[in-house]
Structure 1
Amino acid sequence: MTAQSTLAGIQPRRFGFVEWFRPGEFSRTEEILPDILSSGASFLRTHLSWAEYLAPGGQDWFDWLIPKLGRSIDLLPCLHYTPPSLSRTGRSSGAPIDLKSYADFVDHVLDRYGQHFTHVELWNEPNNLLDWDWREDGDFMLFCQMVGGAAYWARKRGFKPVLGGPCPFDPYWLNLMGERGVLNVVDAVGFHGFPGTWDSEEGAWGGWDMHLGEMRKILGRFNPAAEIWITETGYSTWRNDEMEQARRFIKALSVPADRMYWYSWRDVPADVPVQEGLWFDPRHYHLGAVTDDNQPKLLARLLMEGGVARLDEVSRLASPNLATGAAPIVITGGSGFIGSNLADSFLKDGKDVVILDNLSRPGVDQNLAWLTARHGRRVHPLLADIRDLRSIEAGFTDAEAVFHFAAQTAVTTSIERPLDDFETNARGTINVLEAVRKAGRQAPVIFASTNKVYGALDDLKMLERDRCYAPAVDAIRLRGIGEDRPLDFCTPYGCSKGVADQYMLDYLKSFSIPTAVLRMSCIYGPRQFGTEDQGWVAHFLIRALSGAPISIYGDGRQVRDILFVDDAVAAYRAVLDNIDRVSGQAFNLGGGPGNAVSLLDVLQAIETLTGQRLETSFGDWRAGDQLYFVADTRKLETNVGWRARMGWKDGLRALGNWLVDNRFEGQALMGERRKVSA
């Protein structure tokens, strides 16, 4: 496919990644390569450093790396970095003393590895302002002789040379390459562009169409057959705007170029220097589609779920329509389980709703698609991350009220990555409050907190019964845990949510913003994507309906008061309706003593509903796990007139039927598709 054909409306859908592998990174390469392939990538661009090749162990490293990569994917090696001992400037970006030695190195590489690639990129950073000595080669004559001679020889040997591209793009430099004859001996020309990431590029960036049009015009004069390759483009998520990274990827994939290489697959670890002489800039370290510890960002997750088609599907949801003049309800985490159910209830009443979500939880985009299909243009998706204040502020400008559900929700994840947990739950909550304060409308903010702010409740004496734990104190056993229970933050998750809980209450005192906090027990119901770490009732049912084993942490006798989501939605709405009276207060929200059940009780009920014996196993207790938590909800009931209406067995049946209809439709469940029993 040529650039001209894409201009006619045929968009290229194949793509590649750029990934630099440092000498000795055998295990990192083994980890990354399968993931790149699973993303649907067709191409991989990596560097083959002349300086590293001649360093001790360098040849052995590339003898392993290049065949490893080239056997799995269409490989583009970028040959650059002069050995300092051979450089005119003593630096790796300088021209070699003997210009022909670069062509000799290229010739050697083609002999040794040529069976593993068809194209070879020739480059040596002529626009690197920190390293390139303009006095040594002010008119690029040395560069042209070095690269032009190597390209001529590579072409003569049957390979296709690619001329690397400067960043920012310089049409005068490219035209000079044409006048000097370099463009005549290459098959493709690279383009580097990182719109939206580098401040230094903002003043020069004119858009993909303009810059690639300039390239095509120059190539038309000197080599009309040459292709245009985007050899580097990307977007840094240093502000946690992963949706914007996904959008930029889709945009780069649709521009009139013959290939697109995204920089990069994995973030650079913070302890690895990106470029000698550069001060620390966080943008350099967050350009990957996955984090440095291999956690997929939205871009990688969507590509691995279904390639470009899946990315297209989700990107189409990102179409906010905020300029309607309406005063919307804003729901952060609005694509999530409780958020989407609450949004649906307001939308059915004719309200406009802003859905602020970063889609980080797999599957929640289905909830957003469901809301959009049901309610059309009254749904306003704002796909952004609450950690990025700049990207979310516009969503709160005209807000009538705000419900804040967006959070990191798993204790286990908080222990593995406490900094990320804090940034989302604590810093993200302050961002939401500050966005509301800046809007100046004093919109009420109602926050989804957690019973984990009361700690592990280790001081409560428990009675060990056959299938459950029960408090020894009669009053607690009869009524549950009240709001007068002292706060006792436990685990990073409990700490971050507790901090957010207290900031929420303080913003009424300090800034007169009406706020209320609901400290939730276990909520369950339709539209929940339960996992082992969070949403355990739905997780148990999903595993049971899949015929999969269920893991229990602890002995299964721990007790929770589970609450059906319709009742939770009613509670949140009741708090908003009474915000003038309840502002500045925290309330417990759960099923109460009437819906207090042990994990063993729920498993037994699921066996009855499905008619199947469950396969279960028991493991160690998890950090901060409470033997017993049942919410005393009398304060909420008294203040807003709310009470739980759905009994837990009826709620479990309703969730099971929804799962069968929506998650397992058309599939065989344990030998046959069945409704859970009435």
Structure 2
Amino acid sequence: MKLTGKSVLITGGAGFIGSHLVDRVLQENPSNLVVVDNFYLGREENLEDAVKANPGLKVFRLDAADLAAMRDLVEAEKVDVVFNLAVIPLPTSLKYPAWTVTTNVNIALTFCELARWGAIGTLIHSSSSEAYGSAQYVPMDEGHPLHPRTPYAASKSAGDQLVQSYWRTFSMDVSIVRPFNNFGPRQNPGTFAGIIPIVVQRVLHKQPIEIHGDGEQTRDYIFVRDTANAFVHVYEEAATRGKVLNIATGQEITMNQLVARLLEVMGVPDYPVIHSQQRPGDVRRHCGDIRLAHELIGFEPPVISEADLRETVDYYLKRFS
């Protein structure tokens, strides 16, 4: 099962992970590649290189939760494969929980319906490690209980349950990818920025680094291009159908440790760091079990490397300078 010669749709394709997936899918020489993004977080500049190298790339500003619009699009473009990465992010759910949940659930439902109707051939749906909540044991395998701590996490958990229920009921060709925390170039640097762009901006502006809580909360960080590669391999392997696969490194790092490494990379190891109140719904510990992904798709991602951190920091230094 290869993407060569297929018509492929990537929702959320102008976003952080989505734009890297666009780059990766283009390497497979699909017959047609379509991007859908509402540009709530996605940015046109994330696709600039892809568009220059592939003038046939089609980008549509549409709502992936709009079933009628998506049906018209997949039928017009004769879409074979959908990588569904469209999402309203976690921080938005703390301010607009109803909109976040409704939209995220409807995105999953839209593509479940399209698959049920036979309007698309294969659905690769993106979940989130946030669906697990804080670790009850580590490493967290795919059987770990789902105890979402935020409306966002609940919406991702609900979407996963929808996808699996459609697979069981209608025998559709679907797989679920559950990424843990991603880092790399193109992560949103604005209101909902991740920790790395925040650290770079604060150092450039000579502001102290703020860590919410005591900083001993852990995350399992994976480089974004490794995640994009995993999405493609999940599509290629029929044994993943109907399953959820963690995409992580199996290694956890505290926020204090990550910030210290970033400051080392930036050459300011003694830069001031302050601790503030813990954020609502913040999980305490995350560390993914990736044995299933290793078994099914040969997944063996490297842990956070200095080269990947340097590339990421340099990207934001250039962007913010």
Match of residue 336 from structure 1:
15
1:499 aligns with 2:158: yes
Letter in 2 for 1:331: I
Instruction: Report percent identity of matched pairs.
Output: 27
Q: 1:414 aligns with which of 71, 90, 93?
A: 93
Contact 2:19 2:46 in 1 (8 A): yes
1:423 aligns with 2:102: yes
Letter in 2 for 1:637: H
Q: Secondary structure at the match of 1:608?
A: helix
Q: 2:36 aligns with which of 356, 379, 386?
A: 356
1:655 aligns with 2:312: yes
Matches within 5 A, 1:255-294: none
Matches within 5 A, 1:459-498: 476=138, 480-498=139-157
How far apart in 2 are the matches of 1:603 and 1:489? 26
1:601 aligns with 2:254: no
Letter in 1 for 2:157: G
Shift in Å, 1:502: 0.8
Q: 2:170 aligns with which of 505, 511, 535?
A: 511
Match of residue 444 from structure 1:
122
Letter in 2 for 1:344: D
Contact 1:442 1:512 in 2 (8 A): no
Residues 387, 484 of structure 1: CA spacing in aligned structure 2 closer, same or farther, 3 A cutoff?
closer
Matches within 5 A, 1:90-169: none
Match of residue 247 from structure 2:
589
How far apart in 1 are the matches of 2:176 and 2:208? 36
Q: Secondary structure at the match of 2:314?
A: helix
Q: Deviations over 1:104-147 (max 9, x none)?
A: xxxxxxxxxxxxxxxxxxxxxxxxxxxxxxxxxxxxxxxxxxxx
How far apart in 2 are the matches of 1:614 and 1:375? 43
How far apart in 2 are the matches of 1:395 and 1:369? 22
Letter in 1 for 2:96: R
Contact 1:567 1:646 in 2 (8 A): no
Match of residue 219 from structure 2:
560
Shift in Å, 1:421: 0.7
Contact 2:182 2:222 in 1 (8 A): yes
How far apart in 2 are the matches of 1:534 and 1:502? 28
Matches within 5 A, 1:50-129: none
Matches within 5 A, 1:294-333: 327-333=6-12
Contact 1:523 1:535 in 2 (8 A): no
Cα root mean square deviation, aligned:
2.0
How far apart in 2 are the matches of 1:349 and 1:408? 28
Residues 547, 403 of structure 1: CA spacing in aligned structure 2 closer, same or farther, 3 A cutoff?
farther
Match of residue 235 from structure 1:
none
How far apart in 1 are the matches of 2:167 and 2:197? 35
Letter in 1 for 2:131: V
Q: Secondary structure at the match of 2:301?
A: coil
Shift in Å, 1:531: 4.9
Q: 1:399 aligns with which of 54, 66, 79?
A: 79
Contact 1:422 1:492 in 2 (8 A): yes
Letter in 2 for 1:365: E
Letter in 2 for 1:386: A
How far apart in 2 are the matches of 1:393 and 1:549? 48
1:618 aligns with 2:275: yes
Shift in Å, 1:328: 1.7
Shift in Å, 1:577: 0.7
Residues 442, 383 of structure 1: CA spacing in aligned structure 2 closer, same or farther, 3 A cutoff?
closer
Shift in Å, 1:432: 2.3
1:543 aligns with 2:222: no
How far apart in 2 are the matches of 1:545 and 1:505? 45
Q: Secondary structure at the match of 1:628?
A: coil
How far apart in 2 are the matches of 1:534 and 1:482? 27
How far apart in 1 are the matches of 2:47 and 2:123? 22
How far apart in 1 are the matches of 2:309 and 2:222? 10
How far apart in 2 are the matches of 1:382 and 1:327? 19
Shift in Å, 1:517: 1.3
Structure 2: state its 5+ residue gaps.
Answer: none
How far apart in 2 are the matches of 1:542 and 1:591? 27
Residues 610, 489 of structure 1: CA spacing in aligned structure 2 closer, same or farther, 3 A cutoff?
closer
1:455 aligns with 2:113: no
Shift in Å, 1:501: 0.8
Q: Deviations over 1:359-405 (max 9, x none)?
A: 111x612113332122111x111210122222222332222211111
TM-score by length of 2: 0.90
Shift in Å, 1:545: 4.1
Residues 555, 646 of structure 1: CA spacing in aligned structure 2 closer, same or farther, 3 A cutoff?
closer
Letter in 2 for 1:575: V
Contact 2:25 2:232 in 1 (8 A): no
How far apart in 2 are the matches of 1:374 and 1:615? 42
Contact 1:524 1:538 in 2 (8 A): no
How far apart in 1 are the matches of 2:303 and 2:165? 34
Residues 546, 355 of structure 1: CA spacing in aligned structure 2 closer, same or farther, 3 A cutoff?
farther
Number of equivalences: 313
Contact 2:217 2:255 in 1 (8 A): yes
Q: Secondary structure at the match of 1:341?
A: helix
Shift in Å, 1:648: 3.6
Structure 1: state its 5+ residue gaps.
Answer: 1-325, 461-475, 668-678
How far apart in 1 are the matches of 2:29 and 2:271? 43
Contact 1:530 1:536 in 2 (8 A): no
Shift in Å, 1:449: 0.9
How far apart in 1 are the matches of 2:191 and 2:275? 13
Contact 1:455 1:489 in 2 (8 A): yes
Q: Deviations over 1:181-205 (max 9, x none)?
A: xxxxxxxxxxxxxxxxxxxxxxxxx
TM-score by length of 1: 0.44
How far apart in 2 are the matches of 1:533 and 1:660? 18
Letter in 1 for 2:37: D
Contact 1:522 1:535 in 2 (8 A): no
Contact 2:200 2:317 in 1 (8 A): no
Contact 1:570 1:642 in 2 (8 A): no
Moved more, 508-517 or 329-338: 508-517
Larger Rg computed on CA atoms: 1
Contact 2:149 2:282 in 1 (8 A): no
Residues 392, 542 of structure 1: CA spacing in aligned structure 2 closer, same or farther, 3 A cutoff?
farther
Shift in Å, 1:417: 1.2
Match of residue 45 from structure 2:
366
Where relative contact order (Cα < 8 A, 6+ residues apart) is larger, the structure is 2
Q: Secondary structure at the match of 1:445?
A: strand
Residues 399, 598 of structure 1: CA spacing in aligned structure 2 closer, same or farther, 3 A cutoff?
same
